[in-house]
Amino acid sequence: MTTDVLLAVDAGTSTIKAVAFGVDGTERAVAKRDVETHRPKPGHVEQDPNVVWNRTAAALRDVTASLPADADPLGVSVTGQGDGLWAIDDDGNPAGNAALWSDSRAAGILEEWADEGRLDRIVEGCGSAPYPGMSLPILAWVAREEPDRFDRIDTVLSAKDWLKYKLTGERTLDHTEATVPYLDKDTERYDPGVFEVVGLPGAASKLPRLAAPTAVIGEVTDATGVPAGVPVVSGVFDVPASAIGSGAATAGATAITLGTSLTHQTFINGPQPETSGIQMSLGIDGRWTDAIGSNAGTPSLEWAAETIADVADVGDLADLAAAAPPGSNGVVYHPYLSTSGERGPFVDPDARGQFVGLTPEHGTEALVRAVYEGLSLAVRDCVEHLPGDPDEVVASGGGTRSELWCQLVADCLDCPVSVPAGSEPGALGAAVLLAVALDEYPSLSAAVDRMVTTDRRYEPRPAVADQYAALYDFFASAREGMESVWADRADVYARSITGERD
């Protein structure tokens, strides 16, 4: 008698997780490895693909070794950080470090495309505008700044597709990674014309085979502890994977992730004519997701713990924040701490964080609460720009360990927030797709209904929700008013470094 298990990998920006699930979605074993991020120059955010693969292989070896002897791995599904440029040469070796989704080196190229009308043509084709951390603008930057490296690039991959290549030797890209900007939104197939739009007509050959998320793309060949011959599916990147693993798989369902960055998405039937986010085909039954990612997230809490509260653990912030009233006595925090600026619901590489309304009466408690509120209002800012008006939101990510933050999100959205059971929704979403691919369930919705359960639910508090509705209006208008200030700050700072004067 054997025990069937589904193996899933979630290769996040800071941590790689390998998880074994039962076919019913029960977590059987988890193994983790941390991975380093490098910032060699301002705006450059990179990882070594070989290190990422080695850590992934180690996590897979650990998780398979921890399973009982009668465990039978049915297959492997990989998810991970999205976008960025994970390019390999003809021999399958990395063509330099991977540029991550948070990399902003190509911001100037996108500005040029916008000024020249090229960006409008890209949106017309695929349905959404790329941001600086996507593969096409980074590829254009490499072609301009590092032509020798560009010539070495044979295949454009994402993080999960690099790992799938190492597992199977197959070069593929799934629909969620390929939609922006490579797919024709009407056919959901590659549109090579996008390369002509940006002046790289020969680069169309650098795209790998397009494979739907539930397609088996190959078999395990590398020594990872996983038996050779086990099937590997195409999968999706971590944003839609986390939504699926949180229970949001039907049209109209809305999911958010509270993590190193914030993600927000609503599932829709087909591409919409207007969007403030990024629309992506799931490659399943005509379903799409409209997503908005924000660079804001848990780094604001880590910064507050170290710099404002002088506490060793972010978990210690909640009691401080709870001591201050809703509204933090009139101080508002914009959580744009990333040196890459912000990418949703607006794109501005110069955006920076700030407190608005400080007085000598504001102590540690008010400032810490303002950070939590600012993050929660940033969630609302993104959800406000998604289609529809959600009746409920499912939340995942490390931030959901905070009861306070989950409650504030429910208050700021004025709708219930549910948190799924289990610790790894991204990996579970990958496992759900694997189960469908292997015909363990007849459909995505049937698999989600069986494999995903709810752990807890937060209801909005009416009086507090009304207060945050008013505060949100100020939060949004204040950040809009800061755009010129951010631009001036960036210009003045740049001139101060170079010594230039007017």
Q: Which domains are seen in the chain, by residue range?
A: 3-233 (3.30.420.40), 249-502 (3.30.420.40)
- Order the strands of the 287-294 sheet from edge to edge: 278-284, 287-294, 262-269, 254-258, 393-396, 417-420, 454-458
Pull the structure tokens for residue 147. 């032509």
Tell me the DSSP string of 144-181.
Answer: HH-HHHHHH--EEE-HHHHHHHHHHS--EE-HHHHHHH
If DSSP codes are grouped into helix, strand and coil, which group holds residue 272? coil
pLDDT per residue rounded down to tens, the chain (502 residues): 678 999 999 999 989 999 999 999 999 999 999 999 999 998 899 999 999 999 999 999 999 999 998 899 999 999 999 999 999 999 999 999 999 988 989 999 999 999 999 999 999 999 998 989 999 999 999 999 999 999 999 999 999 999 999 999 999 999 999 999 999 999 999 999 999 999 999 999 999 999 999 999 999 997 788 999 999 999 999 989 999 999 888 777 899 999 888 989 999 888 887 777 889 999 998 889 999 989 899 999 999 999 999 888 888 899 999 999 999 999 999 999 988 888 888 888 889 999 999 999 999 999 999 999 999 999 999 999 998 888 899 998 889 999 999 999 999 999 999 999 888 999 999 999 999 999 999 999 999 999 999 999 999 999 899 999 999 999 999 999 999 999 999 889 888 866 665 5
Q: At residue 167, what is the residue type?
A: L
Nearest 5°: phi and psi at 440?
Answer: -75, -25
Are the beta carbons of 460 and 414 closer than 8 angstroms?
A: yes
- Say how far apart CA 228 and CA 455 lie, in whole Å: 36
If DSSP codes are grouped into helix, strand and coil, which group holds residue 20? strand
| Closest among 308, 250, 171 to 444, alpha carbons compared | 250
If DSSP codes are grouped into helix, strand and coil, which group holds residue 115? helix
Residues in the chain: 502
Nearest 5°: phi and psi at 342?
Answer: -125, 150
Residue partners of 368: CB distance under 8 A and separation at least 6 = 304, 308, 309, 317, 320, 321, 324
Pairing of strands 287-294, 71-80: unpaired
Sign of CA dihedral 468, 473, 479, 482: negative
386-423 b/e (C-beta count within 10 Å ≥ 16 → b): bbeebeebbbbbbbbebeebbbbbbbbbbbebbbbebb
Pull the structure tokens for residue 129. 């505008």
Are the beta carbons of 222 and 57 closer than 8 angstroms?
A: yes
pTM: 0.85
Torsion from C-alpha of 99, 104, 109, 114, nearest 10 degrees? 130
**Can you list the positions of beta strands (E) in 220-358?**
231-233, 254-258, 262-269, 278-284, 287-294, 332-334, 354-356
**Can you list the positions of beta strands (E) in 38-176?**
46-47, 71-80, 86-88, 98-99, 155-157, 172-173
Q: Counting Cβ atoms within 10 Å, is residue 274 exposed (0-12), middle (13-18) or buried (19+)?
A: exposed
| Closest among 167, 174, 107 to 141, alpha carbons compared | 107
Q: At residue 471, what is the residue type?
A: L
| Closest among 255, 257, 353, 341 to 295, alpha carbons compared | 341
